[in-house]
Amino acid sequence: MSAHTGRSSAVTVVGLGPMGRALAAAFLAAGVPTTVWNRTPGRDADLVAAGARAAASAAEAVAASPLTVVCVVNYDASDAVLREETVTAALKGRTLVNLSADTPGRARDTAEWAARHGVRYLDGAIMTPAPTIGTDDAVFLHSGPEELYEEHRPVLAALGGTHTHLGEDPGRAAAYDIALLDIFWTAMAGYVHALAVARAEGVTGAELAPFAQGIAAILPPLFTEFAADTDAGTYSGAINPITSAVSTMTHVVHAAEAHGIDTSLMRVIEGQARRVVARGHGSDGYSRVADVITGR
């Protein structure tokens, strides 16, 4: 069994926050010999008890395995570890999979750094929370050399769930990650604002939640429709023209402001929609906003 392709191939996990510990635990559960290291000591006790090897330094950790998976808060944190001279030297000729979250530009910069130093590099993103790791619900995105991804896919599969290779561009996984996080955080911002407005009107969160889930159920087909509209530049407003959408946005603003609730986010959303109307696209759908915010 190849040292690079077999399920028994050794792996190092750098970064032992909640996600890093979940990654290491999944490798261990799958029988993969696992070395762990964290800048702040003391987070590896349960992993060592489960069979992990604790490295005394980051350089020792990456030298222990043909494959290193790093998962820290961002690329500032990963750079602080990986670009230290002894660590970089130890990584030469080995594979690094960076599952830290950051921008596509930072991913490409790291890939260029890796190439200059003889490090085989894959970038990636984890799209589900730590408790899903090692289960069928985990979702991983990868980008970089496809041959390198295929080489290590059997070991990465120990992390569970689905693994999708998105292309050779090392920034592509991060691009998906950023776009999907954009959906998540703007949705969460809208929901907590709705909870505040509902509470001001005497509606509890528990009372609102079932109906909020109904709103959420409307979204999946709209995601597909808006994607098609944006790709094709059609922006159909046959069912709900943006002039009608602006009216409902204004109602939200007025109701919230009547209770002294901050409406800065909804004011931005309303303003973008009004700019579409001002440009003569009032009969188009809300997806036309994509053109306005990109300056088209």
- For 74-105, what is each residue's pLDDT tens digit? 999 999 999 999 999 999 999 999 999 999 99
Q: Which whole-number Å values give the CA distances from 181 to 42, 55, 154, 177, 189, in the listed order? A: 31, 33, 28, 6, 12
Q: Is 50 exceeded by the pLDDT of residue 65?
A: yes
pLDDT recorded at residue 2: 36
Q: What percent of the chain has pLDDT over 70?
A: 97
Superfamily of domain 201-293: N-(1-d-carboxylethyl)-l-norvaline Dehydrogenase; domain 2 (1.10.1040.10)
pLDDT recorded at residue 7: 43
Average pLDDT on 245-264 reads 98
CATH 1.10.1040.10 range(s) for the chain read 201-293
90 Cβ neighbours under 8 A, 6+ residues apart: 59, 60, 62, 63
CATH 3.40.50.720 range(s) for the chain read 11-168
Which amino acid, 196? A
Residue 57 has what DSSP assignment? Answer: S
* pLDDT averaged over every residue in the chain: 95
Average pLDDT on 28-48 reads 96
pLDDT-based confidence at residue 6 (cuts at 50, 70, 90): very low
Residue 114 has what DSSP assignment? Answer: H
Q: Which whole-number Å values give the CA distances from 125 to 36, 51, 85, 108, 164, in the listed order? A: 20, 26, 26, 14, 10
124 and 173 Cβ atoms separated by less than 8 Å: yes
Q: What is the dihedral of CA 110, 111, 114, 115, to 10 degrees?
A: -150
* Buried residues in 210-248 as b, exposed as e (16+ CB within 10 A): eeeeeeeeeeeeeeeebeebeeeeebbbeeebbbebbee
pLDDT recorded at residue 3: 36
Average pLDDT on 196-217 reads 98
> How far is the first Cα of the chain from the last one, in angstroms, to the nearest whole number?
54
pLDDT recorded at residue 295: 87
Model confidence pLDDT, tens digit, residues 183-204: 999 999 999 999 999 999 999 9
Average pLDDT on 36-64 reads 97
DSSP 198-239: HHHTT--HHHHHHHHHHHHHHHHHHHHHHHHHHHHT----SS
pLDDT recorded at residue 5: 39
The sheet with strand 53-54 has its strands ordered as 53-54, 34-37, 11-14, 67-70, 95-98, 120-126, 139-143, 162-165
240 and 246 Cβ atoms separated by less than 8 Å: no
Domain 11-168 has CATH 3.30.210.10: no
Model confidence pLDDT, tens digit, residues 105-150: 999 999 999 999 999 999 999 999 999 999 999 999 999 999 999 9
